[in-house]
């Protein structure tokens, strides 16, 4: 469930008309619903009620500091994967002891930033990284709280580009070697192995891979415990999918029951890293029709949003529901059309053969389920502006990231001295 719905023939975000926002802000723009963010967070945490659980929102799904602050006020911690995300989390007001740092390529500087900030734990993904954490912690004269990320060699049955739990993926330490690595890590002077972490992929629409991975992780815990290596914390990652195209995805309640089945009897804290599940349906991308083009064999609805604004269809072949901001009448004649953007790539296509009512230039369209991996993956390809982000709460809305146009980017660029110098100012033709 989300809080985007038709009222009196117009799409609303909570109590605000999408068309009214579009008229004020201009298109394209992202719009996030506070009520939906809060609802999705509560549904997930309610499914874990009674467990010693800390839910750490995965910042990479949507890193706007207003989104992070909204969830932090509900009690969420966060999972970050870069120094930039850590800075965002701290700026949003997340307590350092509720922050987990994941990722396979943490630099010495990022590790130092994490340790100086006093975060809850660093999820280590390789032996060289473990050595680097020990080195940096030694230089800072502190003890680094570390969880070893386990690669369970489980196929998540999701898109290859977002599968992270197979042995051929770059993530984690092979599960058969975890005992050896943990044993050796106990000898490091500036590392405290506080737990294990695992994340097998994103957008899982079947619970069976979770079951297989949980069983493997439980086996690793048993092996370590038998050798006197006590695990205080288990980070079970995220990855629970959502229904982009109206399909079926596992419910948080079913996921919670599975977690209880495997871990309720263990005396350790459980961490979770949901991202898409919380933010995905809480956001939409609003775009405007530029032209309706009748091609030789296809009809094209050309809009002002493009693949640089929402990469998922081009990158993953992902499907998003697309609906008009004005509700079509029940007897509207539907015709098939491709919804495409203006970028000079055939891949700049949001939908093919989509049944749509009659549309005209200036009409607004809504691309749904765009709150996760939308704005965060955007680029300025074709020197296009980075679009605004808007947040709605009840009957109020506010821009939470302003449009970044070409002038903002040119301020960061510099013409070298041998070409006449001066940062981005036009040079007269000769």
Tokens of 237: 């990652």
398 three-state secondary structure: strand
DSSP string, 263-284: HTTS-SEEEE---HHHHGGGEE
C-alpha 356/C-alpha 333 separation (Å) is 8
| Residue the block writes with tokens 């993904």 | 125
C-alpha 364/C-alpha 351 separation (Å) is 16
Contact 37, 282 (CB under 8 A): yes
- 344 catalytically annotated: yes
The DSSP 8-state label assigned to residue 384 in this structure reads P
Beta-bridge mates of residue 234? 196, 270
C-alpha 297/C-alpha 264 separation (Å) is 58
Q: Say which of 56, 142, 268, 344 is annotated catalytic.
A: 344
User: 396 exposed, middle or buried (CB, 10 Å; 0-12, 13-18, 19+)?
Assistant: exposed
C-alpha 104/C-alpha 160 separation (Å) is 17
User: 412 exposed, middle or buried (CB, 10 Å; 0-12, 13-18, 19+)?
Assistant: exposed
Q: Which residues touch 128 (CB under 8 Å, ≥6 apart)? A: none
The CA-to-CA distance between both ends of the chain, in Å, stands at 61
DSSP string, 39-65: HHHHHHHHHTTTS-EEEEEEGGG---H
Catalytic residues: 344
């Amino acid at each position: 469930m989300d809080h985007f719905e038709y009222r009196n023939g117009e799409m609303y975000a909570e109590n605000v008309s999408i068309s009214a926002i579009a008229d004020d802000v201009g298109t394209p723009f992202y719009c996030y619903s506070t009520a939906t963010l809060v609802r999705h967070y509560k549904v997930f945490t309610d499914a874990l009620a009674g467990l010693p659980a800390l839910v750490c929102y995965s910042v990479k799904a949507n890193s706007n500091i207003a989104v992070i602050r909204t969830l932090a006020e509900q009690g969420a911690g966060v999972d970050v994967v870069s120094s930039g995300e850590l800075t965002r989390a701290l700026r949003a007001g997340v307590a350092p002891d509720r922050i987990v740092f994941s990722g396979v390529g943490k630099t010495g500087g990022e590790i130092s930033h994490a340790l100086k900030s006093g975060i809850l734990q660093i999820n280590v993904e390789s032996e060289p990284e473990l050595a680097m954490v020990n080195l940096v912690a030694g230089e800072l004269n502190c003890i680094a709280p570390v969880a070893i990320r386990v690669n369970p060699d489980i196929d998540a049955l999701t898109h290859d580009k977002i599968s992270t739990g197979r042995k051929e993926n770059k993530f984690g330490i092979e599960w058969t070697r975890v005992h050896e690595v943990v044993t050796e890590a106990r000898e490091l002077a500036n590392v405290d192995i506080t737990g294990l972490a695992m994340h097998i992929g994103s957008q899982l629409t079947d619970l069976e891979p979770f079951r297989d991975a949980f069983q493997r992780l439980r086996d690793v815990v048993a092996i370590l415990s038998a050798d006197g290596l006590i695990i205080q914390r288990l980070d079970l990652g995220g990855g629970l999918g959502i229904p982009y195209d109206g399909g079926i995805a596992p419910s948080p309640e079913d996921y919670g029951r599975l977690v209880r089945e495997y871990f309720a009897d263990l005396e350790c804290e459980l961490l979770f890293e949901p991202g898409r599940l919380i933010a995905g349906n809480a956001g939409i991308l609003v775009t405007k029709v530029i032209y309706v083009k009748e091609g030789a064999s296809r009809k094209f609805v050309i809009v002002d949003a493009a693949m640089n604004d929402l990469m998922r269809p081009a990158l993953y072949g992902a499907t998003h529901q697309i609906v008009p901001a004005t509700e079509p009448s029940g007897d509207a004649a539907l015709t098939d059309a491709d919804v495409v953007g203006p970028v000079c790539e055939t891949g700049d296509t949001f939908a093919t053969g989509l049944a749509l009512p009659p549309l005209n230039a200036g009409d607004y369209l809504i691309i749904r389920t765009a709150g996760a991996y939308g704005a965060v993956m955007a680029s300025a390809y074709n020197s296009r502006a980075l679009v605004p982000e808007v947040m709605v709460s009840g009957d109020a809305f506010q821009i939470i990231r302003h449009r970044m146009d070409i002038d903002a980017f040119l301020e960061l660029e510099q013409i070298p001295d041998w070409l006449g110098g001066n940062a981005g100012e036009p040079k007269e033709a000769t």
